[in-house]
């Protein structure tokens, strides 16, 4: 090769490197989230720091709940499947990045053939002295090829793959959020049904005592058979309320076991001992809703898919331009193995290629139009996800606030009904009123106590819904984004 040819080849490669710095297509800019402050979420006072509750479930001050959540994060099978999807997405991104680099390969072969005398080579060779039909060909070579990404199409595809990998990471974090929230929800419902079962059993004991009182009054001639029958009917009703509560308790226990990656019933004994329904303190959140919502995994997924769609527009536009590739081969080929690595058998090759889709009858235009449509769809889905996220946050805070008010009212109602029930029993024993008034007082008190237990559990579940709506996982398993978001929730009680 002459010096002139070498310089020309080097100049071509340098020019290719220079051109490969350009990228076709629109550069991505994340969309802004324009939202007014939340109406139902209390905001922290300006300049007032919000102590961290990292992870958020520690706000419940329940070590059994913490143990269940840790076990779910370690053993849940949906989380394991999500992790596998994340690893596959990362591998796809690495594969897309590898397309930007040269590819090399080593090949070696030994071919044995018996040459036909009527083939083009056989027709010539059969007339030559020493020609042998049996031939063995030895070949070894090292080759490399590289598509020079002059106009950035491959880089745009790699950018899209990286965005998809980031979306998978956010989706995995979203699975963590769901698993943690569902585990807490199942645990709180277990505590709810245990509390309601205790109330139902206490009511049975109360009705037994009332029935004994009525029967005693019957023996004294101051009660009637009708009153005994009424007391017995109310006792049966109280006993009949227990099986549905037990069934609901068993169902939530099974649900919790599955969330912890175990067969239903595996951990039932561990949670069989009744405990109070934990009541977390939900304080203030940051004033900027955009900062809070941006941390939600589903919004991160939608935003990363939007970025991927934007990058694919550039990849589609790059098809308008030529694709340049170079290849080289260093190899040896010989009919004899002992002569394979001699200078006479050395056969290097070099290749430069250009491929340009000049006549495709609108295919590239259609590909660009499809990419533009996918981008518009991704943007609409992102905006819809933002609105749904804001709705979930507003609803979660509103539900928690309303339930706390109902709990305060229910406590006052129970105190009044307990006084009324005691007065009714005393009046009945004195013969001032009939049994019907006592039974009605019992019924009202039971309903009020059962409603209070339900509202306490619903309030705690609403607190879980708040953390879920804000997309907070606050666990190292899901990444540092959740921990950062958790510090936005103030643990101090709202004024």
Number of structural domains the chain divides into: 2
461 occurs within a structural domain? yes
Tell me: do 421 and 364 sit in the same domain.
yes
Could you state, in chain order, the average pLDDT of each consecutive group of 10 residues for the chain (495 residues)? 42 47 78 76 48 70 92 89 86 81 84 80 77 79 83 86 88 90 93 92 87 87 86 90 94 94 89 87 64 81 91 88 86 77 80 84 89 92 90 88 91 92 86 80 87 91 87 50 36 31
Last residue in a domain, options 298, 331, 355: 355
Rounded Cα distance, 173 and 82, in Å: 9
- At 456 the pLDDT is 92
Residue with tokens 């509750």, as numbered in its chain: 53
Cα angle: 42, vertex 190, 399; to 5 degrees: 25
CATH number, domain at 341? 2.20.200.10
* Residues in contact with 163: Cβ distance below 8 Å, sequence separation at least 6, in sequence order: 304, 305, 307, 308, 311
- At 495 the pLDDT is 29
Tell me: do 244 and 181 sit in the same domain.
yes
Tell me: do 418 and 448 sit in the same domain.
yes
Which residues lie across from 140 on neighbouring strands?
A: 108, 332
- At 41 the pLDDT is 65
Tell me: do 159 and 231 sit in the same domain.
yes
Phi/psi zone of residue 273: left (φ > 0), alpha (ψ -120 to 50 degrees), beta? beta
Residues in the chain: 495
Within 10 angstroms of residue 279's Cβ, the number of other Cβ atoms is 17
Asked if the bond preceding 435 is cis, omega within 30° of 0, the reply is: no
Domain that holds residue 71: 56-99+150-321+360-470
CATH number, domain at 302? 1.20.1600.10
Listed residue (486, 466, 475) closest to 176, CA to CA: 475
Tell me: do 302 and 403 sit in the same domain.
yes
Tell me: do 306 and 328 sit in the same domain.
no
Tell me: do 368 and 351 sit in the same domain.
no
331 occurs within a structural domain? yes
CA end-to-end span of the chain = 85
Which residues lie across from 43 on neighbouring strands?
A: 285
Tell me: do 209 and 285 sit in the same domain.
yes
160 occurs within a structural domain? yes
């Amino acid at each position: 090769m002459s010096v002139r040819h070498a310089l020309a080849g080097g100049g071509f490669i340098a020019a290719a490197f220079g051109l490969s710095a350009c990228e076709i297509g629109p550069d991505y800019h994340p969309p802004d989230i324009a939202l007014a402050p939340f109406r139902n979420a209390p905001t922290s006072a300006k300049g007032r720091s919000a102590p961290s509750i990292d992870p958020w479930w520690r706000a419940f001050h329940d070590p059994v709940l913490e143990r269940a959540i840790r076990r779910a994060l370690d053993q849940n099978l949906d989380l394991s499947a999500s992790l596998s999807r994340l690893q596959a997405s990362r591998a796809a991104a690495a594969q897309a990045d590898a397309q930007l680099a040269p590819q090399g390969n080593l090949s070696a072969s030994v071919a044995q053939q018996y040459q036909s005398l009527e083939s083009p080579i056989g027709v010539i060779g059969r007339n030559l002295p020493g020609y042998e039909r049996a031939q063995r060909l030895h070949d070894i070579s090292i080759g490399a090829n590289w598509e020079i990404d002059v106009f950035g199409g491959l880089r745009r595809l790699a950018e899209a793959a990286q965005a998809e990998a980031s979306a998978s990471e956010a989706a995995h974090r979203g699975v963590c959020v769901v698993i943690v929230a569902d585990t807490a929800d199942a645990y709180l419902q277990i505590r709810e049904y245990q509390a309601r079962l205790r109330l139902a059993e206490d009511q049975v004991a109360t009705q037994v005592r009332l029935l004994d009182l009525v029967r005693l009054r019957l023996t004294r001639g101051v009660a009637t058979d009708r009153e005994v029958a009424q007391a017995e009917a109310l006792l049966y009703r109280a006993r009949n309320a227990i099986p549905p509560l037990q069934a609901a308790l068993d169902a939530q226990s099974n649900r919790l076991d599955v969330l912890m990656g175990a067969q239903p019933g595996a951990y039932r004994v561990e949670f069989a001992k009744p405990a109070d329904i934990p009541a977390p303190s939900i304080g203030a959140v940051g004033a900027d809703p955009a900062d809070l919502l941006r941390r939600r995994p589903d919004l991160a997924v939608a935003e990363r898919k939007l970025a991927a769609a934007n990058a694919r527009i550039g990849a589609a536009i790059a098809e308008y331009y030529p694709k340049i590739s170079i290849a080289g081969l260093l190899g040896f080929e010989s009919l004899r193995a002992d002569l394979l690595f001699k200078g006479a058998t050395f056969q290097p090759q070099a290749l430069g290629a250009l491929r340009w889709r000049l006549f495709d009858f609108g295919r590239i235009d259609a590909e660009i139009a499809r990419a533009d449509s996918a981008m518009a769809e991704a943007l609409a889905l992102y905006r819809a996800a933002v609105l749904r996220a804001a709705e979930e946050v507003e609803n979660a805070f509103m539900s928690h606030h309303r339930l706390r008010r109902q709990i305060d009212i229910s406590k006052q109602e129970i105190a009044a009904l307990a006084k009324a029930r005691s007065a009714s029993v005393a009046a009945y024993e004195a013969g001032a009123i009939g049994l019907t008034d006592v039974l009605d007082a019992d019924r009202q008190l039971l309903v009020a106590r059962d409603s209070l237990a339900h509202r306490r559990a619903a309030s705690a579940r609403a607190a879980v819904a708040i953390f879920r709506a804000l997309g907070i996982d606050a666990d190292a398993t899901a990444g540092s984004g959740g921990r950062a978001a958790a510090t936005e929730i103030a643990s101090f009680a709202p004024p």
